[in-house]
Amino acid sequence: LGFKGPGEPECINFKSTGLTTLHLIPRPQAARRRSLQRTSVQVPSCFIFHFVNAHQKDDKVIIDVVQTKSFSAWHPDRSLEASFGGFHRGLASGTREFLDSYFDVGDTGRLVRYDVDVASNSANVISPLSDRTVEFPRLNDNQWSRSHRYAYVGASRHPTRAQPLQCWMKVDYSTVTTEGRVGEQVLYDAGEKGFVGEPTFVPRANTSGREDDGYLIGMVFNGETLETDFVVVDARGGREAIVVNIPDIRLPLPALHGTYTRRVFL
């Protein structure tokens, strides 16, 4: 346990010739109240690590995800060590070996929307919503299972190439129905040698009620100084980020999942 990566060929074999099944399972109370039944919908073969959000609109369920065409978070011909060993050795030795780690796997996360028609058990796939490499989506928690306009993701600096996540990007879904693409706004760019973790959205105190009225917080690794920063960004954009260095902590793989609390413990 812990000595093998989850990707091919160490633990999982991906069947690219089959179909992927989306399961819609009603919550018990809703199922009893509205006589809802479990629904399964098949879509073209893919793999999904992280869901952005989902909500129901009339007889449709709108599902936003980050999708790859196969399970290739790790290169199909490489072990976990071969793919990311440089990060681990760089952490242990203080070298810059992590900069030589393998990133261009050729199949990276893309924003995709599934328009699921519950009555006909069918799905319209809107893909891709953006050509940029993305992962670790977050949104204002008040929008969970509700219609949302904005999401926030770790993204590549280049708009099309497969690259590591080096910026935080704000995604605007309001243009999907008219243009088939999302709006993109880079809120924070960590630079050529900076690597971002997953952003967490924190609503502003005494919020105006706007969905994006808040902050993004998260960890960023500086590959030049080999140090980790805690970064705060205005989710509405237009303001300079607040960067706080964390002494003696080095996280070459920045934090993946996080939350927040309004309680002060110090």
For the segment 192-198, the average pLDDT, to the nearest whole number, is: 90
Instruction: Check pLDDT > 60 for residue 203.
Output: yes
For the segment 7-26, the average pLDDT, to the nearest whole number, is: 77
Say what the pLDDT of residue 61 is.
93
Say what the pLDDT of residue 92 is.
46
Instruction: Check pLDDT > 80 for residue 55.
Output: yes
Return the residue matching tokens 């760019």: 189
Q: Which residues of 70-90 are buried (b: 16+ CB within 10 A; e: fewer)?
A: bbbbbbeebbbeebbbbbbbb
Instruction: Check pLDDT > 60 for residue 3.
Output: yes
Q: pLDDT tens digits for 163-194?
A: 889 999 999 999 998 888 999 999 999 998 88
Comparing 195 with 256, the larger pLDDT belongs to 195
Q: Alpha-carbon distance 57 to 62, whole Å? A: 7
Give pTM, 2 decimals.
0.84
For the segment 216-240, the average pLDDT, to the nearest whole number, is: 89
Say what the pLDDT of residue 110 is.
93
Residue 266: pLDDT band with limits 50, 70, 90: low
Half-sphere exposure of 135 (CA within 13 A, CB side): 22
Residue 34: pLDDT band with limits 50, 70, 90: low
Point out the least confidently predicted range of 34-43, 145-154, 215-224.
34-43
**Angle CA 183–161–83, to nearest 5:** 125
Half-sphere exposure of 209 (CA within 13 A, CB side): 0
Token duo for residue 127: 């893909």
Helix (H) or strand (E) holding 90: helix 80-93
Say what the pLDDT of residue 179 is.
84
% of the chain surpassing 70 pLDDT: 77
Instruction: Check pLDDT > 90 for residue 16.
Output: no
In DSSP terms, 117 is beta-bridged to 60, 122
Q: pLDDT tens digits for 108-136?
A: 899 999 999 988 889 999 988 999 999 99
Say what the pLDDT of residue 246 is.
82
Given 3-state DSSP classes, what are the helix, strand and coil percentages for the chain, each rounded to the nearest 5?
Answer: 15, 35, 50
Say what the pLDDT of residue 119 is.
85
Q: Alpha-carbon distance 32 to 192, whole Å? A: 54
Residue 97: pLDDT band with limits 50, 70, 90: very low
Measure Cα distances from 163 to 37, 160, 173 in Å: 41, 9, 23
Instruction: Check pLDDT > 80 for residue 29.
Output: no
Instruction: Check pLDDT > 50 for residue 10.
Output: yes
Residue 6: pLDDT band with limits 50, 70, 90: low
Q: pLDDT tens digits for 81-95?
A: 555 555 545 544 444
